[in-house]
Amino acid sequence: MTAVLLRQTPLPDPFRAGIAGGWKVIDASALQADLALEADIAIVGTGAGGGTAAEILSAAGFSVVMIEEGPLATSSDFHMLEREAYPQLYQESAARKTRDKAINILQGRCVGGGTTVNWTSSFRTPPTTLAHWSRQFGIAGFTDADLAPWFERVERRLNITPWDVAPNENNDILRRGAQALGIPVATIRRNVKACWNIGYCGVGCPTNAKQSMLVTAIPAALSNGATLLTRTRAWKLDHSNGRVSALHCLGLDAGGTDPGPRRIVVRAKTFIAAGGAIGTPALLLRSDAPDPAAVVGKRTFLHPTVVSAALMPHSVDGYAGAPQTVYSDHFLDSLPVDGPIGYKLEAPPLHPVLVATTLCGDGAAHARWMRELPRMQVLIALMRDGFHPKSEGGTVSLQDDGTPSLDYPLNDYFWDGARRALATMAEIQFAAGATAVMPVHASGESYATWTQARSAIAALSLKPLVTPVVSAHVMGGCPLGSDRMRSVVDLDGRHHYLDNLYVFDGSLFPTSIGANPQLSIYGIVARLASALVSRLAPTRTALKRLG
């Protein structure tokens, strides 16, 4: 490989400054001996859930240890290069897959988790979703009104505001095409501050504009005295008599892929699992946490996503500018939530590796499309899974080596939505002036008119590993609820059978969200973590409030 270009930017890197100032950050791959730590609270994972919890609990005066499987990489390490970012910041080099390999999952694995690499799209949990949780799962106290104050609090903290800069052309084509067809669109809110609008959110923000956990909650927790362990895989919880006593961790090697020689044990009064909707169920399964109804790891949701590529007569430069700023919920809102599967329309950033690995086929045809990258426009449709009896999601189980695998069968209920979505996206792209549209599919065929595309899409053979399906949102697997037959934790996020174990991440959700989930995780975890503070130390909290 060519030598890595080490770009020295003059931009500030507050995280590195914090470490120089004495923050407690331990890279387990560099440990010379095994390690034992004690804390009030051990938090597994530093993404949207773990980060939010760490800030709130450390601010309340609890000693906190954060355990992160991925490495610490900060703004000085973010060179806007896919070849560096995917292996460094993503699960399985951004090539994590479901068991049959039919769905490629983009999932963060670094300090800040998915928030370090997401595209900044911020949506409150849709009221339709919350109403469905209440109706179908008996989840009380999670209405729009109940959660609104928590969303407001997080929105202030992370500067979540409407993007009032003009969308990049890739997003504006979604706006123009949809509007030409009478399909309503809206502007996405983003968690950014003084954003440079350069478009590299997915490979780590080099300017610290993105208000990820890496830039906000984790520095706050470290300033409050918390300890951060990196390259540390939470492996197994020791529990007896309904309580967890210790968490055993594997220190990973310097490459971050394999267990190294070091073992870390964390003893705490309270444990929080926030390793994401694949990692958290896996931790509970490895730990033999009581699960009499066999719920753990079931109903794991992905917003399985299909893709449509188009060529425009003018330049689009889809790699430049804020990646996601326009969306349409028309095909969610116009369908009953428990009817045929609905989908959210968005646009993705078009960086070379992401595009080249998503487009089908090879040889001259693939090369021809790649040469058109500057004129390429791409839409994605994210399916709202988990709301219909035929949409049960996937199942997390353990492989021989104890690491998780997700089996997610794609059935006709899903493919029906995929076919409608491919047609919708093609129609929008033509309405915006596309000269060719290619529903991303193994056939590699593209079409010059909407009429051609419509009949071709109606006849396309849609099946796993023929129609690429991707996911960037993993949810469910440890759902909250009061019915122990259908949930893993109660409405406080507390494990039904282990009193001092909580789940505070996207695995709490009984269905998918139907929107990019980061704000749902922030808001719900902010509420659960604040309630935990009140439960653990009512006096301390009261004093702090007075002070």
Partner 1 sequence: MPDSTPSPRISRRTLLKAGIVAGAGLVFARWLYTSTAPPQPTPPPGALDARASEVVAAIAPVMLAGALPTGNPVLLQQVVAGVEQAIAGLPPAARKEIDQLFALLWFAPSRGLIAGVWAPWHEASSASIGAFLDRWRESRLGLLRSAYGALHQLVFAAWYGNANAWPAIGYAGPPPLGAAG
Please give the structure tokens belonging to residue 420.
Answer: 């409608």
Residue nearer to partner 1 on the CB measure, 54 or 103: 103
With beta carbons less than 8 A apart as the criterion, state whether 420 and 428 touch: no
Within residues 167-226, the interface with partner 1 by CB under 8 A covers 198, 200, 206-207
How many other CB atoms are there within 10 angstroms of residue 480's CB atom?
A: 23
With beta carbons less than 8 A apart as the criterion, state whether 199 and 323 touch: yes
With beta carbons less than 8 A apart as the criterion, state whether 524 and 317 touch: no
Burial class (CB in 10 A: 0-12, 13-18, 19+), 357: middle
Cβ at position 86, least distance to partner 1 in Å? 7
Residue nearer to partner 1 on the CB measure, 7 or 484: 7
Cβ at position 430, least distance to partner 1 in Å? 23
Q: Say which amino acid occupies 79.
A: H
373 binding partner 1? (CB under 8 A): yes
The beta-strand segments (E) located in 328-445 are 343-346, 376-383, 395-398, 404-407, 436-439
Q: Count of residues binding partner 1 (CB under 8 A)?
A: 57
Cβ at position 403, least distance to partner 1 in Å? 6
Cβ at position 408, least distance to partner 1 in Å? 14
Q: What is the DSSP string of 22-63?
A: T-EEEEGGG-SS-EEEEEEEEEE--SHHHHHHHHHHHHTT--
1 binding partner 1? (CB under 8 A): yes
Q: Which residue blocks in 210-311 are alpha helix, DSSP H?
A: 217-223, 276-286
Please give the structure tokens belonging to residue 236.
Answer: 């197994």
- Per-residue x/- marks for partner 1, 463-492, CB under 8 A? -xxx--------------------------
Residue of 164, 339, 362, 485 that binds partner 1 (CB under 8 A): 362
Stretch that binds partner 1, among 80-88, 151-159, 300-308, 527-535 (CB under 8 A): 80-88
Residue nearer to partner 1 on the CB measure, 86 or 137: 86
Q: 3-state SS of 138-187? A: CCCCCCHHHHHHHHHHHHHHCCEEECCCCCCHHHHHHHHHHHHCCCCCEE
- Per-residue x/- marks for partner 1, 281-320, CB under 8 A? --------------------------------------xx
With beta carbons less than 8 A apart as the criterion, state whether 302 and 103 touch: yes
Residue of 363, 389, 459, 547 that binds partner 1 (CB under 8 A): 363
With a CB cutoff of 8 Å and minimum separation 6, the contacts of 180 are 431, 432
How many CA atoms lie within 13 Å of 315's alpha carbon, on the beta-carbon side? Answer: 5
With beta carbons less than 8 A apart as the criterion, state whether 110 and 72 touch: yes
Residue of 16, 24, 79, 157 that binds partner 1 (CB under 8 A): 79
Stretch that binds partner 1, among 110-118, 129-137, 356-364, 413-421 (CB under 8 A): 356-364
Residue nearer to partner 1 on the CB measure, 464 or 506: 464
Residue of 24, 153, 236, 366 that binds partner 1 (CB under 8 A): 366
Residue nearer to partner 1 on the CB measure, 224 or 435: 435
Within residues 422-461, the interface with partner 1 by CB under 8 A covers 442
Residue nearer to partner 1 on the CB measure, 253 or 392: 253
Residue of 14, 24, 76, 81 that binds partner 1 (CB under 8 A): 81
Strand-pair partners of 343: 383
Residue of 76, 161, 357, 397 that binds partner 1 (CB under 8 A): 357
Cβ at position 255, least distance to partner 1 in Å? 5
Q: 3-state SS of 77-122? A: HCCCCHHHHHHHHEHHHHCEECCCCCEEECCECCCCCHHHHCCCEE
Stretch that binds partner 1, among 51-59, 292-300, 363-371, 421-429 (CB under 8 A): 363-371
CA-to-CA distance for 380 and 331, rounded, in angstroms?
13
156 binding partner 1? (CB under 8 A): no
Within residues 88-147, the interface with partner 1 by CB under 8 A covers 92-93, 95, 100-102, 104
% helix / strand / coil in the chain, to the nearest 5?
Answer: 35, 25, 45
Residue nearer to partner 1 on the CB measure, 206 or 523: 206
Residue of 265, 356, 531, 537 that binds partner 1 (CB under 8 A): 356
With beta carbons less than 8 A apart as the criterion, state whether 61 and 540 touch: yes
Residue of 18, 19, 35, 83 that binds partner 1 (CB under 8 A): 83
C-alpha distances (whole Å) from 379 to each of 90, 233, 266, 296 are: 22, 36, 45, 34
Residue of 14, 18, 61, 87 that binds partner 1 (CB under 8 A): 87
Residue nearer to partner 1 on the CB measure, 208 or 328: 208
Please give the structure tokens belonging to residue 475.
Answer: 């949810």
Cβ at position 28, least distance to partner 1 in Å? 16
- Per-residue x/- marks for partner 1, 247-286, CB under 8 A? ------x-x-xx----------------------------
**C-alpha triplet 406, 256, 105: angle, nearest 5°:** 30
Residue nearer to partner 1 on the CB measure, 423 or 460: 460
C-alpha 247, offset from chain centre: 24
Cβ at position 69, least distance to partner 1 in Å? 11
Residues near partner 1 (CB under 8 A): 1-2, 7, 9-12, 79-83, 86-87, 92-93, 95, 100-102, 104, 198, 200, 206-207, 253, 255, 257-258, 319-320, 352-353, 355-357, 360-364, 366-368, 370-371, 373-374, 399-401, 403, 405, 442, 464-466
